[in-house]
Structure 1
Amino acid sequence: MTEEKNVYSIVTPQIEQLAELCHKSDIIDSELYTRFDVKRGLRDLNGKGVLTGLTHVSKITATKEVDGQTLPEDGELYYRGINVKELIKGSTQENRFAFEEVAYLLLFGQLPNQKELDDFKEALFFYRSLPTGFVRDIIMKAPSKDMMNTLSRSVLTLYSYDDNPDDTSLPNVLRQCMSLIALFPELAIYGYQAYNHYHEGNSLFIHPPRTDLSTAENILYLLRPDSQYTELEARILDICLILHMEHGGGNNSSFTTHLLSSSLTDTYSVMAAAIGSLKGPRHGGANIKVIRMFEDMENNLKDWTDDEEVSAYLEKLLAGEAFDKAGLIYGVGHAIYSKSDPRAQVFKGFVEQMAHEKGFDKEYALYDKVATLAPQIISKRRKMYKGVSVNVDFYSGFVYKMLGLPIELYTPIFAMARIVGWSAHRMEELANNGKIIRPAYKAIGPDMPYIPMNKRV
């Protein structure tokens, strides 16, 4: 079996040559994108996204119009018209977990009263049970080291357990979406436990979910061997889930959701594709890069409090001379936000609180220093069409580290939250019965004559 697996991962000299042939035939002169006014990444030269749809689900603001000019301003994020800062402020002041409440808002367009919230929670809790034998027969078989792939495989397999998997009527799709919202924590965490046991040789813990716990509490309960957690840990995880729950219809994974939903494919295929999008390091996988970057920074800095030494390391990052040589300072900058990412603003105070409780004050001080220095260094070295600031990924990985969460689950936790936004966007796409999404690509290669086999060189 081991020998057979190795065959699949060998890149032979022939494959190397064929890959070079692919590259040679596929590369496109960058000047042509300008000539034909192609919006690469569906964004214009100023970074503004091409308008491809309308949505009620959420709104992001990062600029303001002054005397006909578009100027950057502090970013704001709204869920169904309500500022996410107010949602978190309200739940914090009233001392309650709010993931389920905000999920209701995103799905149904209004905040629930107490009875509506209780009924919604009861419906979600009803779906927390996986099909009989699913953990044994699916999750425990061929565990993967990548939890996003494990999550995607489990979601696709649930299609086979659904009596009406292809029915795209709104009641049926809502039922499927609520089931996946409820099940994502179990699918990802059980997948990790299987990997941790079979690949890493550690003890196997499969705790059954509890229907009396919030989603944030349930995640910690399922993951930890002793199922224990503090109130602060669960509250900060709840806030993290809310901040990651939704971010407009144009982000890569939500656009993927709209794209596939427009073809009227099934919910499981849509969500598996969205998971695949979120997995990428340019999207949901960014917080892992932040953690790895800071680990490298901490190992290479002699004095974490020295502005000059920290700045010198950041300069090396941008020059491609440090960490992964990619020329990036991970967690700094965003496609939309310029002056500030509201999610990072909200998160920062809670992160500082947890750092103090957990004994990570020194690490937090370094994060705070980089958050100040990095935008200055980037703006000096690179021509910017807008400002730059730290984003939510800058802090989220640090929070997961302080919570003692395994790095394999960092991006799946993002998915546990974003499944709500994906569900809202899928419902919206289907409710409007729009056209299949089909943007245009311009063919630029010359027409070629067919050459018979005996005349080919």
Structure 2
Amino acid sequence: MSNELKRGLEGVLVAESELSHVDGEVGKLVYRGYDIEELARGASYEEVLHLLWHGSLPTRAELDDFRAELAAERAVDDEVLSTVRTLADAGDRPMAALRTAVSMLSAYDGDAEGEGVLAEGARITAKIPTVLAAFERARQGEAAVDPDPDLSHAGNFLYMLTGTEPDDVSEETFDMALTLHADHGLNASTFTALVIGSTMADVYSSVTGGIGALSGSLHGGANQDVMEMLHEVDASGKDPVEWVRDARENDRRIPGFGHRVYKVKDPRARILEGKLRDLADSSGDRKWLEYTTAIESHLADEGLVEKGIAPNVDFYSGSVYDAMGIPMDLYTPIFAMSRVGGWIAHVHEYQADNRLIRPRARYTGPEAAEFVPIDER
């Protein structure tokens, strides 16, 4: 048995998966063999869920049935929504509120016992947008909007969030963002969900754990960090390049750059940059597009990309959400709303040939401590 220490499990193979593959050297992401760009531009989030969960892109009839299955599960019990309102009134953080609500959902799922990962997972996936939209509306002092079964997963969330059906550009862009974030190998939150799933705990436990892992600033919070940076740039009155140059001279890290896997520009960032251009053209507001592209160009000229530090998905996702009027602290919960599909897929896949995940730690404590009775200490 090897005693080589791999901090953070970097480079350690712990499972085999057919779900997604990341090639960080060339900037490529595939779901079950399909390039992410093809899926983002040609398939809906529901189609991608079907691909991840059932192994194939659906036919039209299969997609209609799958959409109907999800739409039928969108309603959330009044007691859960009451708790969500209480958390909003108390000023709880959205990710913390989402974690609490998802855990609470299991108490109202009478069919959960022994039903299977995908059936439970479909209910969780369908209900997370309802919970999140209700939380935001409660913060604004507004009543929750009932889900609309005739709208897509993406369109329904935007409708519940605002009370108005989204325009085609916003719905298409949001749907694309959900697809781009649906899965990404064994990242920290997916691995957390997988560890919990390997104990044969229920899916609610795995998803709740995934949300907790995603809430950390080193994983899911970078898109909000990027947006806060852009607002700081704007408030400073400085040119974005000047601001970044000053920030780096003061040893500030520029959020949205660098990735544990990608050594070139994240393919999801390329796609979202294009959607940000579409939104800017649609609204006429090009400020965030001009800021982000100027910063990216400057850092490329400074040689960061050559060093393997390139824009990741977070560098553009925040600007895209902001262009749709979504509050900054909802960006990471929206990430969870998408990634839940990947968490469920990985747990379902792993449990088919399950082995309890149980790594070791190298002990570095004392070898022979002498015990002293409490009255003699």
TM over 0.5: yes
Q: Does the 8 Å contact 2:21/2:29 carry over to 1?
A: yes
Q: Does the 8 Å contact 2:257/2:309 carry over to 1?
A: yes
Match of 1:403 in 2: 324
Match of 1:149 in 2: 96
Alignment of 1:89-104 (within 5 A): 89-91=41-43, 98-104=44-50
Match of 1:179 in 2: 123
1:445 aligned onto 2:370: no
Please list the CA deviations of residues 76-112 of structure 1 after superposition, one character each: whole Å capped at 9, or x if unmatched: 1101111111112334xxxxxx111111111111111
Q: Does the 8 Å contact 2:155/2:165 carry over to 1?
A: no
Q: Does the 8 Å contact 2:272/2:320 carry over to 1?
A: no
Amino acid at match of 2:277: E
Match of 2:199 in 1: 263
Deviant stretches of 4+, over 4 Å: none
Match of 2:313 in 1: 392
Q: Does the 8 Å contact 2:182/2:342 carry over to 1?
A: yes
Q: Does the 8 Å contact 1:329/1:374 carry over to 2?
A: no
Match 2:179 to one of 242, 247, 250: 242
- In the alignment, structure 1 segments of 5+ residues that lack a partner are 1-35, 44-48, 64-73, 92-97, 198-203, 321-326
Amino acid at match of 1:87: L
Distance 2:275 2:325 in 1: 16
Amino acid at match of 1:278: L
RMSD: 1.9
1:51 aligned onto 2:13: yes
Structure with higher Rg: it is 1
Please state whether the residue corresponding to 1:257 is helix, strand or coil.
helix
Please state whether the residue corresponding to 1:284 is helix, strand or coil.
coil
| Residue identity (%) | 34
Amino acid at match of 2:211: I
- With normalisation by structure 1, the TM-score equals 0.78
Amino acid at match of 1:79: Y
Match of 2:54 in 1: 108
- In the alignment, structure 2 segments of 5+ residues that lack a partner are none
Match 2:342 to one of 403, 421, 430: 421
Match of 2:274 in 1: 349
Please list the CA deviations of residues 294-338 of structure 1 after superposition, one character each: whole Å capped at 9, or x if unmatched: 11122224334xx4x24523423xx43xxxxxx311000111001
Match of 1:70 in 2: none
1:281 aligned onto 2:248: no
Amino acid at match of 1:212: D
- With normalisation by structure 2, the TM-score equals 0.93
Distance 1:37 1:378 in 2: 33
Query: 1 or 2 for the larger relative contact order (CA 8 Å, sep ≥6)?
Result: 2
Match 2:154 to one of 216, 224, 230: 216
Q: Does the 8 Å contact 2:80/2:104 carry over to 1?
A: no
Match of 1:75 in 2: 27
Please list the CA deviations of residues 326-381 of structure 1 after superposition, one character each: whole Å capped at 9, or x if unmatched: x311000111001221101111111111122223313311110111222454749x
Match of 1:60 in 2: 22
Distance 1:142 1:288 in 2: 21
